[in-house]
Structure 1
Amino acid sequence: MRKLIQEFLQEEKGIAVVGTARNGEDALTKIQLLRPDVLTMDVQMPVLNGLESLKKIMENQPLPVIMLASSTKEGAEDTLKAMDYGAVDFISKPSGTISLDLYKVKKELVEKVYAAAGAVPRKQDKFSSHPLIERSVKHQKNNKALQEQVSKNKENGQQFPLGVCKKVVLIGTSTGGPRALQKVISHLPWDFPAPVVIVQHMPAGFTQSLASRLHDISPLIVKEAEHEEKLQSGTVYIAPGGYHVSFSQSGHAVEIILTKEPPRAGHRPSIDVMLESAAKLKNIKKIVVIMTGMGTDGSKGLVQLTHRDLIGVIAEAKETCVVHGMPKAAVATGLVNEVIPLPLIAKKIVEYLEDEG
């Protein structure tokens, strides 16, 4: 696998492979000597595994790291940990731990190495706090009555009248998204009065782990979206990897529709597909949030939404993005109302909903 990756990257005129390492310990030594711009690293390695190596790299000499991971449940959980530790992105190995058919992800590998070269590596917990956010979270954690209500809501799986959807929050993100989503979703209040639908560019096998992780750290119910499931306020829906998310409406009842239509600009799920479908929802107010990610997904869908139905459009500020491509493209449409750093996005979403009444 190491030989295949080296060959794939050396075929690119704009990429020079300055070295390879047999294991995590070897990698730490060679990083010091060779000073690479980007590192690709397997989660599973001998001597010192990918997660432990990544921790040391981000503590001592942060650089953009792309992880290779298997789509098993354990592999997906390890990948999300890697994102927490500061990895820029990951690639799912096509056929398990030893994937000799890596040619299937060659194009993705090359694209992500180029994107990572311009990415800003973040140490763990960078931009994770802000005084306004900290006060809100502290209040929720220390309020026993709130905690009991959160537990009750999650046990019952229902908090608001079923089948009534008057507002919806639509979030799109890609490179750096799993970590960014933790900072937003965990800071939304337990009585959040709208459903949240998220498209995170991820392959099948990883989005369920992302949903579980967000559910554990959030006051809200967070789940992987299901076909023909009705949107429910106080619930966060993650688009499953490998499926587009669109919507079907009957009055104020809105259902999620999952499809296997061809990828859009290489993505399935696609933010554009979600927003284009949301544009057809009548008498339902929308908040759109475009966060860190490479490319332009979301900008075409954004222009389909009418000002009449938009409460607000938020783009993540460049200083907190791992890759600024998607928010930059959204801003270029002229439709973005707020460009704000990651720690303030949850607060701004709540403000929009409160102002709307």
Structure 2
Amino acid sequence: MSEFKVLIVDDSPFMRKVFSDVIDADAAFKVLATASNGKEGVDLALELKPDIITMDLEMPQMNGLEALQRIMNIQPTPVIMLSAVTDNGTRDTIKALQYGAIDFIRKPDGAVKLDIRQVGEQLLEKLHIALETMSSGSLRMLPAVEEKAVIIVQPTPAPPLTLSPIVEDPANKVGKPDKPGIAVDTIPSNIASVKEVQPKENVSKEGATHSRKPEAKTDKPAPRISSVLPVAETGMTKPKSQETRMANESSQRAKPVARVQSDSVVAGKKTSKPAVTSEKASSSLTNAGTTAKPRGSTQFEQLVAIGTSTGGPRALHEVLTGIPAEFPAPILVVQHMPPKFTFSLAQRLDNFCSIHVREAVEGELVETATAYIAPGGKHMSLKKEASGKYRIRLSEEGPRSGHMPSVDVLFESLIGQRQLVRHIVLMTGMGSDGAKGMKALRSDGAATTIAESEQTCVVYGMPRSAVELGAVSHQLPLQGIAPAIVQEVRSRKP
């Protein structure tokens, strides 16, 4: 097998030396070159075309975020970020994951007791995961998420709620990979096909223009995608007269940086484009008086639970920004991520979403129109009180399948809670966490079990496992998940 070529970009000569020694000691990898700043990194990436890049965040001349964006715009390449465990470092890491980085490792830091040996081991682990997924063809490089910062919708008459089938867009073609193992996709914004999965049959590969090897062998064939789940053509418009606040990322409240005059969504299709203002101009919007997000209610009959891993921050941004402010259900989210980073993820998502997004806290009451992200290093579950209200429960019982938080732990806490209409979602991620829990919930009467389709997953691992178990009722491309969730919830609202 040929060596996996790595480009190291770091302003520290010491770290460049350490990483070079660690990587070259593994027969599967070879250090192609090193760069001392982001500009050199971009130049070398375009010239040498490495298989993967390690990128420091804080560097002179050009930082890691800017270098990442340039590389992803010109020559998409898998990038692993090197992140400091600081407020700025965690925030920038979340940005990097949304801009296209596939993963990150933490720098040595006394506070988290990481030494050089541990960092080297973590880097090799991430490199081997990237090698495995690229070799199997299951790693995909997708466009960065569109940052829909502040949404101001002009009042319009609410259309009647009607259901009609969605016809798959024939223009939805998957781009050819730039090199083996990496598929660079351009997914049209109007993609909204929703396909129903019939268990125990074969998955159709229609629409794919490249092949993949399976992530793991299985005795059971994957289910066949056969029919279309109705999703409303109308009724997806964001709530009237609703403004979301864009926070300065160093504070809890912020000024908006973009303004959308009208952003109606019809089965995942935008009907207008945002007009982006400058930060100076946007400050006048705040001064003019933005409104706070409406508070949720502790009374609800439906609930959404989402599990994701590699590629998740990008996917969560796409889904949660598509949920309207008056959403009549809470959303519980497990994203595989270390402590501190989940807080920054929640904070950043809250800046862009119409609903509240926050890191979950032990014992807090669960409310509608709010997404709760499980803290890194803790499992999250849902508990019902005698009063009929629900609270968040956090535990540190140890990793499940190598993960803490674990999607399966969250999903299993919803088994038996049949008084709730449960909508379950698994999105991009390595491995199989959440698949068994989703299967159990489907058997327990969950209303909807959705897996992100292969064509939009960064890594088609967790959704694939759920499909192969027969746990999935419907597969959707990423852009179709939020509209389908909203429609499913609204169609069951009393």
User: Does TM-score exceed 0.5, indicating one fold?
Assistant: yes
Q: Is 1:130 matched up with 2:130?
A: no
SS at match of 2:109: coil
- Greater Cα shift, 219-228 or 262-271: 262-271
Change (3 A) 1:18 1:93: same
Distance in 1 of aligned mates of 2:63 and 2:189: 29
* Corresponding residue of 1:140: 238
- Given candidates 28, 38, 53, the residue that maps to 1:24 is 38
* Corresponding residue of 1:178: 313
SS at match of 2:466: helix
Distance in 1 of aligned mates of 2:119 and 2:416: 35
* Corresponding residue of 1:198: 333
Q: Is 1:333 matched up with 2:472?
A: no
Q: Deviations over 1:33-69 (max 9, x none)?
A: 4321111111112332111111211121111111010
Q: CA contact under 8 A between 2:107 and 2:114: conserved in structure 1?
A: no
* Corresponding residue of 2:362: 227
Aligned-residue offset at 1:152: 5.3
* Corresponding residue of 1:288: 424
- Greater Cα shift, 214-223 or 100-109: 100-109
Aligned-residue offset at 1:288: 0.9
- Given candidates 38, 57, 81, the residue that maps to 1:67 is 81
Q: Is 1:256 matched up with 2:316?
A: no
Q: Deviations over 1:319-338 (max 9, x none)?
A: 11111111111111101011
Aligned-residue offset at 1:104: 2.1
Aligned-partner residue type, residue 307 of structure 2: G
- Greater Cα shift, 168-177 or 19-28: 19-28
Distance in 2 of aligned mates of 1:182 and 1:131: 17
Q: Deviations over 1:301-355 (max 9, x none)?
A: 2233253430111111111111111111111110101111000000111122133
* Corresponding residue of 1:95: 109
Distance in 2 of aligned mates of 1:256 and 1:343: 29
Question: Structure 2: where are the runs of 5+ without partners?
Answer: 1-14, 146-185, 193-230, 246-289
Q: CA contact under 8 A between 2:77 and 2:141: conserved in structure 1?
A: yes
* Corresponding residue of 2:269: none
Q: CA contact under 8 A between 1:291 and 1:315: conserved in structure 2?
A: yes
* Corresponding residue of 2:141: 121
Aligned-partner residue type, residue 333 of structure 1: L
Q: CA contact under 8 A between 1:294 and 1:326: conserved in structure 2?
A: yes
Q: Is 1:2 matched up with 2:16?
A: yes
Q: CA contact under 8 A between 2:331 and 2:372: conserved in structure 1?
A: yes
Aligned-partner residue type, residue 177 of structure 1: G
SS at match of 1:48: coil
SS at match of 1:236: strand
* Corresponding residue of 1:159: 296
Distance in 1 of aligned mates of 2:190 and 2:83: 32
SS at match of 1:303: helix
Aligned-residue offset at 1:165: 3.8
Aligned-residue offset at 1:147: 3.2
Distance in 1 of aligned mates of 2:244 and 2:40: 49
Distance in 2 of aligned mates of 1:112 and 1:100: 16
Aligned-partner residue type, residue 368 of structure 2: S
Distance in 2 of aligned mates of 1:5 and 1:49: 19
- Greater Cα shift, 23-32 or 164-173: 23-32
Aligned-residue offset at 1:279: 1.5
Q: CA contact under 8 A between 1:311 and 1:356: conserved in structure 2?
A: no
Q: Deviations over 1:165-197 (max 9, x none)?
A: 422111011111111111100001121111000
Paired-residue identity, %: 41
Q: Is 1:237 matched up with 2:335?
A: no
Distance in 2 of aligned mates of 1:200 and 1:37: 26
Aligned-residue offset at 1:127: 4.3
Q: CA contact under 8 A between 2:379 and 2:404: conserved in structure 1?
A: yes
Distance in 2 of aligned mates of 1:148 and 1:262: 37
Distance in 2 of aligned mates of 1:106 and 1:264: 24
Q: Is 1:351 matched up with 2:487?
A: yes
Q: Is 1:78 matched up with 2:92?
A: yes
Higher alpha-carbon Rg: 2
Aligned-partner residue type, residue 363 of structure 2: E
Give the structure-2-normalised TM-score: 0.65
* Corresponding residue of 1:321: 457
Change (3 A) 1:165 1:106: farther
Aligned-partner residue type, residue 183 of structure 1: E
Aligned-residue offset at 1:153: 5.7
Q: Deviations over 1:99-138 (max 9, x none)?
A: 98132244442232233342222233464833779x9899
Distance in 1 of aligned mates of 2:302 and 2:238: 24
Change (3 A) 1:282 1:337: closer
Aligned-residue offset at 1:146: 3.1
Distance in 1 of aligned mates of 2:80 and 2:234: 34
Q: Deviations over 1:212-248 (max 9, x none)?
A: 1111111111111010111111111011111110122
* Corresponding residue of 2:162: none
Q: CA contact under 8 A between 1:128 and 1:343: conserved in structure 2?
A: no
Aligned length: 349
- Greater Cα shift, 51-60 or 5-14: 5-14
Q: CA contact under 8 A between 2:244 and 2:352: conserved in structure 1?
A: no
SS at match of 1:199: strand
- Greater Cα shift, 113-122 or 261-270: 113-122
Aligned-partner residue type, residue 121 of structure 1: M
- Greater Cα shift, 17-26 or 309-318: 17-26
- Which structure: greater helix fraction? 1
Aligned-residue offset at 1:6: 2.4
